[in-house]
Amino acid sequence: MSAATLPAARRASAARAAPSSTRRAWSVLAVSTLSFTVCFMVWMMFGVIGIPIRKALNLNATEFGLLTAMPVLTGSLIRVPLGIWTDRFGGRIVLATLMAVTVPAIWLMASATQYWHFLVIGLFVGLAGGSFSVGTPYVARWFPKNRQGFAMGVYGAGNSGAAVNKFLAPVILVALGWQAVPQVYAAVMLGTVLLFWFFSHSNPNHLVPATVTFRDQLKALKDPKVLRYCQYYSIVFGGYVALSLWMVQYYVGEFGLDIRVAALLAACFSLPGGVLRAIGGWLSDKYGAHQMTWWVMWVSWICLFLLSYPQTDLTITTINGPQSFHIGLNVYAFTGLMFVLGIAWAFGKASVFKYISDDYPKNIGTISGIVGLAGGLGGFFLPILFGVLMDLTGIRSSAFWLMYGVVWVSLIWMYLTEVRRTEVMGDHAPASPSFSH
């Protein structure tokens, strides 16, 4: 072949390879999102089956919070090593192995009879929650930089597994008993492992160089930007996980609803909080991570302020005698606010990871693992603290007091480190950034 024809031949070869690469990218994204949805469904299992378990074991609110949070603990702690292993060995082998390891633990859940049984088995079931730190860098590297926010948002829509759990688990529970739920979920997980393996792909070019050590990757822990992203994610993801676990029993206790109706209404928060993450990724690509996250925090602040107000009966003395008033959210207003909050947090989860893909394109796995760990730990500690606050105060809405404070911290930190810094540098844009390019 002559020198003149060599470039043309290479271009023709690249043109033929491009559609194949695109097909592989979309196949990876589709099957990975399905896998993450199933993993999240399993991870949130205690949000529904925990209610009959709580009744059978006579647990208080704090014990129930620990029960629901236990799977979240291991799913959080393992995120950093999983992110590092994904960078080093590839997402296909890591995610398939992770899902396969959880199958026996999910099946054994049906045989648990004592409180400590559920806690220990829950630790192993919780490994499924670490799948986020595998799939995020895995799918992102199959797409160009200007579409990575969208790709990660689509994958993150697997959070809707929390809503799938609320639709599916009550049906199985009522028909066959709670023990059938983990058995069905184990079978679903096994089938998902096989499906993922046959339709996913590997690309050696996506791996970090062998010269990069684990110590090099963990240096990101010293980066103040990473710590700030951890704070943001602790509320938009940690709060989402915590409320997904807490809301069914909240509806049952606060409004006296049947578990099936309670699960359906709780899904009004979980479903948009997962599915709309893809739109949040697209918006973050278009308008930027900072602007999206800023507005997400303000919407969260307003919703949580209203949700925090407890049911109150007020009696005042008037010229016509005592007059009583009731102040509080009814089930419709409460569900509407939760729906808005779910949308905001879906966008926020995507925008935080847009920060990561912009700032750390060569180290997405490790950084996503660190930030995912912070979000997961938020999802672990918040349900426990919800239970402690309710046992201490007797007020169910005290759960929202706590999250309202976390959002305040995020807003102040964002203002001091991003908004105010922009003003000091001479940018005369308003403190509340507008949606402009």
The confidence score (pLDDT) of residue 434 equals: 39
User: Which residue bears the tokens 């959002």?
Assistant: 407
Whether 213 has a pLDDT exceeding 50, the answer reads yes
Average pLDDT value for residue range 244-248: 84
Contacts of 336 (CB under 8 A, 6+ apart): none
Domains of the chain with bracketed CATH: 21-203+213-424 (1.20.1250.20)
Q: What SS3 class is residue 237? A: coil
- pTM, to two decimals: 0.70
Q: Give the number of other Cβ atoms within 10 Å of residue 290's Cβ.
A: 18
Q: pLDDT tens across 314-358, in order?
A: 888 888 888 888 888 899 999 999 999 999 998 988 888 788 877
- Count CA within 13 A, CB hemisphere, residue 381: 12
* Residue ranges in 160-258 assigned as alpha helix (H): 161-176, 180-199, 214-218, 224-236, 238-255
Ranked by mean pLDDT, the top range of 276-280, 362-366, 368-372, 409-413 is 409-413
The residue assigned the tokens 């072949």 is 1
* Total residues found in the chain within this entry: 437
pLDDT of residue 180: 92
Phi then psi for residue 75, to 5 deg, are -65, -20
Residue 325: what are its φ and ψ, rounded to 5°? -135, 145
Whether the CB-CB separation of 273 and 247 falls below 8 Å is answered with: no
Axis-axis angle for helices 61-77, 115-125 (nearest 10) = 30
Contact 99, 187 (CB under 8 A): no
Confidence tier at 188 by pLDDT (50, 70, 90): very high
Looking at residue 14, what is its pLDDT? 43
Q: For residues 419 and 293, is the Cβ–Cβ distance under 8 A?
A: no
Confidence of residue 211 (pLDDT cuts 50, 70, 90): low
Which position has the higher pLDDT, 69 or 2? 69
pLDDT band of 166, cuts 50, 70, 90: confident
- Taking residues 123-141, report their average pLDDT: 86
Average pLDDT over residues 138-145: 83
Long-range Cβ contacts of 329-336 (<8 Å, 24+ apart): 331/251, 331/255, 331/257, 331/265, 334/254, 334/255, 334/307, 335/265, 335/268, 335/269
Specify the higher pLDDT residue, 74 or 20. Answer: 74
State the pLDDT confidence band at 17, using cuts at 50, 70 and 90. very low
Q: Burial code of 375-411, b = ≥16 C-beta within 10 A, e = fewer? A: bbbbbbbbbbbbbbbbeeeeebbbbbbbbbebbeebb
Position 306 scores a pLDDT of: 93
The closest of 100, 82, 103, 81 to 91, measured between CA atoms, is 82
Instruction: Extract the runs of DSSP E, i.e. beta strands, from 225-383.
Output: 312-318, 321-327
* Better-scored residue on pLDDT, 225 or 117: 117
